[in-house]
Amino acid sequence: MDLCNIYTVDESKPRVQCISIEDSTIVDTGNLGEITRRRLPATVLQHYLPEWVVKAIRRAPKVFYVAPQAAVVPGLADAHAHVLEYGFMMQLPLATATSVEDVVARIKAYIVAHSDILDDRERWIEGMGWDQTKWPGAKFPTASDLDQDPLLSGRPISLNRVDGHAKWVSPRVLELMGELPDVVDGGNIVRDADGRPTGIFVDNAMALIPTPAWTEQRMSDYFDTTMWDALSHGLTSIHDAMSYPDQIRFFKRKADEGKLPNRLYLMGHLPSNDYWGDQIPHLLNYGKHERLTVKSVKLVTDGALGSWGAALLEPYSDKPETSGLMLTPPDELSTLVHQFWNDGFQVNIHCIGDRANHVVLDIFEDILHDHKANVTEWRPRIEHAQILTLEDLQRMGKLGVIASVQPTHATSDMTYAEFRLGPERIKGAYAYQTLLQVSPNHVLPLGSDFPVESINPLLGFYAAVSRLDTNGSSPHGNGGWFPHERLTRAQALKGMTLDAAYASFAENDLGSLTPGKKADFVVLDRDIMTVPFAEILETKVSATVVDGKVAYGAL
């Protein structure tokens, strides 16, 4: 029996033996006999055939053979990521650091490895990825921790927390900052018992830190790092979830030069509560290869759970003196959303806590119901949709608001989330299967939020379908954390292909291996739709194809 391990995410033909490609477009799908009759000598991607057929078909032009144990899926998309920030993090990655001492050791090694930094004590050192919840004591570090070693002492050091919602700075940076305000709207300067800054700045307070702006060369270096890693992991489309105007101009230049190796869907952003839509261009399939689109904006409502910044309706269970932070006042947020909607932008809003989600659903409901906006034309998104009341989970579905979620956030947070939220609130958190089922079109785009999480989309696939950590465990055992919220493999694959395409208005061109769509696909060395969970993590990308051309690996 012929194997059909090309997964199309096309309901009419979910699994096929071959796809036929002409130039950058899929022109046919089916079994070998069908395509041979209809399309030869068009390019044929063949999954498995008897040996005598393989020998015969190899004589035809542009024929590729895929091993029997392999699989082909549509080009994978990350519906929420940070392109340049990933490259930035990779210069000094701290995500696997196990303690303050480990972070210090990594910074020392970084300094020693870079002679220009070693010899210049005024040169800023920046890194990203630390997470105090994984360290002994699970407490925030302090500035003094970065001043104990002679090699670090006196240097300006700024380190982003893994979620990007807090920064840890050295005493030298505190000196450079001078006198600090007592209060920061939507932010927090963490202080000790005597009221002195400890060196931790949360959310809007991070803007006080005078880190140097990125140069064109730094952005180019970060971009190259990200693009290579993305393609090597099968990503053909990325939704960049916070593109500042200077970054949009950078991506636009790359598109003009034909140097975008995969597709970018940018969400414009400025950290201002005054309207800034006139600074964000509208671009559709822009550039030499038509791979750049800008038609959405990203707004931010609250902070993150890991730094107690997610805005909750009631105080934190493990820190009852706070209910989190609203980074944008609700009335100002409402004004911004209405203006962006009027100007034709899709509006995508960061919401972690149940209060943040509730406030944003109120704003969206006003526009969709009272102003009669067409939800299919507008496609508003909540980025993360992490903690909602049970009532708001249902309301989100009734409104047709898109939940853009990141499955690895659930498995990263599951060790502390219930302790932080309590047994009742956790029922509406990381509720991916529920969000999918209440969606009127059963749409749930999946992303990673890299560099907050791994750039590897198969890790997100694994987290979505297993609700386990990479060791195969969870607080609820090896059956997964709240296993009723797991996605099926078919749902997860659709979430990172066709649903992501829908969330970026590209479902007619991308997201499935359907005739007429772009020839973006990935060849995997094993079948992620059938192998045991643990083997998903061992899967490698053999080839990544964009517009019918190999961008990574080989066919």
pLDDT tens digit sequence for 286-345: 999 999 999 999 999 999 999 899 999 999 999 999 999 999 999 999 999 999 999 999
pLDDT at 147 over 60: yes
Strand, coil or helix: 118: helix
> What are the angstrom distances between the C-alpha of 458 and each of 60, 491, 522?
34, 14, 12
pLDDT tens digit sequence for 386-436: 999 999 999 999 999 999 999 999 999 999 999 999 999 999 999 999 999
Determine if residue 497 is left, alpha or beta; phi over 0 gives left, psi from -120 to 50 gives alpha, anything else beta: alpha
Query: Which pLDDT does position 103 carry in this prediction?
Result: 97
Query: Which pLDDT does position 47 carry in this prediction?
Result: 47
Chain-centre distance of CA 497, in angstroms? 14
pLDDT at 12 over 50: yes
| The CATH number of domain 85-208, selected from 3.40.50.300, 2.40.30.10, 1.20.58.1030, 3.10.310.70 | 3.10.310.70
Strand, coil or helix: 507: coil
pLDDT at 61 over 50: no
Look-up: residue for tokens 């906006």?
373
Sheet containing 15-16: order of strands: 15-16, 6-7, 71-74, 521-524, 541-546, 549-553
Residues 6+ apart with CB under 8 A from 164: 82, 85, 128, 304, 452
CATH superfamily of 216-512: Metal-dependent hydrolases (3.20.20.140)
pLDDT at 2 over 80: no
Percent of the chain surpassing pLDDT 70: 94
Query: Which pLDDT does position 418 carry in this prediction?
Result: 96
pTM of the full structure: 0.91
Domain definitions of the chain by residue range: 85-208, 216-512
pLDDT confidence of 43, banded at 50, 70, 90?
very low
Average pLDDT, the chain: 93
Retrieve residue 164's tokens. 């990007």
pLDDT at 52 over 50: no
pLDDT at 185 over 50: yes
Tell me if 54 sits within 8 A of 67, measured CB to CB.
no
d(CA 53, CA 349): 52
Residues 6+ apart with CB under 8 A from 450: 78, 81, 82, 86
Query: Which pLDDT does position 62 carry in this prediction?
Result: 39
